[in-house]
């Protein structure tokens, strides 16, 4: 794999931010979600910068560092679903209002993406968009080579939470099926919370009703 993945945990919410770097030590780096901006900065070398953030969904624990990163790197691009773009601008939709620390972000650098879109990262390396609604209407997963970042659409060994705004249990099960069918036996799953898991170690039957399998 031509990309290194560093997991940075926001310990207040136990939410993962993933820092992606080229194995060739390119200057451009990327983030999957941004719940821990302090460690992002601490883990960059002096010549490196954040070129883009890929947001799995708009919930507060996955976006709470967005203003700090944009302030530090004004040219950063933010890739997310159309729903997440709206939710970034609404503190009730992104749930930050209920944490007494409302966050709204409406930058012109927010770029909506959809199923099967591919965005170039490094030479010969691109990230592919997989729409995985259920936990949240705008949830996305992002696949690079033999890894997939699933946000809260799939956290191995945990039931998907669908009781929050725009959650949908049926869509959540369908999205897990889509994730399962999008990856290979030895691919690695990087969830929004918890540790990375190799695909063949996931008990897929844990998530499905008989009609969904």
Q: Give the chain's domains with CATH numbers.
A: 3-207 (3.60.15.10)
Residue 212 — very low, low, confident or very high, per pLDDT cuts 50/70/90? very low
Residue 211: what pLDDT?
Answer: 42
Residue 123: what pLDDT?
Answer: 83
Residue 25: what pLDDT?
Answer: 81
Cite the beta strand spans of 26-116 per DSSP E: 28-32, 49-54, 77-80, 110-112
Please give the Cα distance from 164 to 153 (Å, whole number): 13
| CB-based contact 34:41 (threshold 8 Å) | no
The predicted-structure confidence for 106-132, as pLDDT tens digits, reads as follows 999 999 999 999 999 998 899 999 999
Give the pair of three-digit tokens for residue 94.
């992104």
User: Is residue 177 helix, strand or coil?
Assistant: helix
Model confidence, pTM: 0.95
Please give the Cα distance from 62 to 158 (Å, whole number): 18
pLDDT at 47 exceeding the cut of 50: yes
Which phi and psi angles does 83 have, rounded to 5°? -65, -45
Residue 213 — very low, low, confident or very high, per pLDDT cuts 50/70/90? very low
């Amino acid at each position: 794999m031509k990309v290194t993945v560093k997991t940075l945990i926001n310990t207040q919410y136990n939410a993962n931010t993933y820092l992606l770097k080229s194995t060739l030590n390119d200057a451009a780096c990327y983030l999957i979600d941004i719940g821990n901006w302090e460690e992002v900065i601490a883990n960059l070398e002096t010549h490196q910068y954040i070129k883009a953030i890929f947001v799995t969904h708009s919930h507060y624990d996955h976006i709470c560092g967005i203003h700090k990163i944009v302030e530090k790197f004004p040219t950063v691009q933010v890739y997310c679903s159309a729903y997440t773009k709206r939710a970034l601008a609404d503190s009730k939709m992104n749930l930050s209002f209920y944490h007494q620390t409302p966050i709204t972000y409406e930058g012109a650098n927010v770029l909506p993406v959809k199923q099967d879109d591919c965005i170039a990262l490094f030479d010969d390396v691109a990230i592919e968009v997989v729409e995985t609604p259920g936990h949240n209407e705008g949830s996305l997963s992002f696949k690079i080579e033999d890894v997939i970042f699933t946000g809260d659409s799939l956290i191995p060994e945990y039931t998907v939470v669908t009781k929050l705004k725009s959650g949908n249990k049926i869509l959540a099960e369908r999205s897990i099926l889509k994730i399962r069918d999008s990856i290979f036996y030895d691919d690695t799953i990087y969830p929004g919370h918890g540790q990375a898991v190799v695909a063949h170690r996931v008990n897929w039957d844990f998530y499905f009703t008989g009609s969904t399998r």
